[in-house]
Structure 1
Amino acid sequence: MALNEVHISSLVVHCDPLHLEIIKKQITEYDGTEIYGDSPEGKIVVVLETENQGFITDTIDAINNLPNVLSTVLVYHQIESSSEETELQYKDAGIQHSQIEGEA
């Protein structure tokens, strides 16, 4: 039985405000990233939608290493998961399974 997962995460990126627009452009070049907002002070809200947790940490590291980025912080991580068997059983019922990081 295969497990299908979607990881949804949000990040706050703090950058030098003078470079806000170029950093936003660089962030959107990463797969699965979407910018939901920014501030004149150089803060950017980024949402990632990925298939595995490793991609999240790799993307955080890559963004954090961009020139003029001061910090990148993970503020939310949710895992939507279901097995193929469960998907088939509950597809018509519209039931989804989700887990927020930290829950058992």
Structure 2
Amino acid sequence: MTKNNESRTDEYHVASFVAYPIFEKLTEVKKAITTVDGTEIHATSAEGKIVFTIEGHSYKDIGNKMDTIRNHKCIINLSPVYHQILDESTDSDSN
């Protein structure tokens, strides 16, 4: 049953996060975030907090990308903010 969920291609997921890096490693952490496919940094505060999104095709895809970023040695904490799921099969019918 899990196999069917993973092969599903009509879902679009977007999740937002706030990363709290070691301030002296801010540039390194930003580069690590943007090297993960489907990520985009939207803002960085003066204190070094990084607001970014991850796009993917499933919960598992978002989770794997999040884990890759969360496990970076210079990230103190990674907080999820929002997660939205769109069913693209119904969106295309309405156009």
**Normalised-by-shorter TM-score class:** 0.7 to 0.9
Over 3 Å counting, the alpha-carbon distance change for 1:41 and 1:4 in structure 2 is same
Looking at secondary structure, tell me which structure has more strand per residue. 1
Q: Tell me, yes or no, if structure 1 residue 51 matches structure 2 residue 57.
A: yes
> Does the 8 A contact of 1:3 with 1:81 survive in 2?
no
TM score, norm. by length of structure 2: 0.82
35, 39, 57: which is aligned to 1:33?
39
- Give the C-alpha shift of residue 69 in structure 1: 0.4
- Structure 1 residue 3 displacement after superposition: 6.2
Question: Any stretches of 5+ residues in structure 2 without a counterpart?
Answer: 1-7
Please give the TM-score of this superposition, normalised by the length of structure 1. 0.76
Q: Aligned-residue CA RMSD in angstroms?
A: 1.7
Tell me the percent identity.
Answer: 36
How many equivalent residue pairs? 88
Contact 1:8 1:49 in 2 (8 A): yes
**Which residue of 2 is the match for residue 12 of structure 1?**
18
Alignment of 1:81-100 (within 5 A): 81-83=87-89, 86-87=90-91, 89-91=93-95
Larger Rg: 1
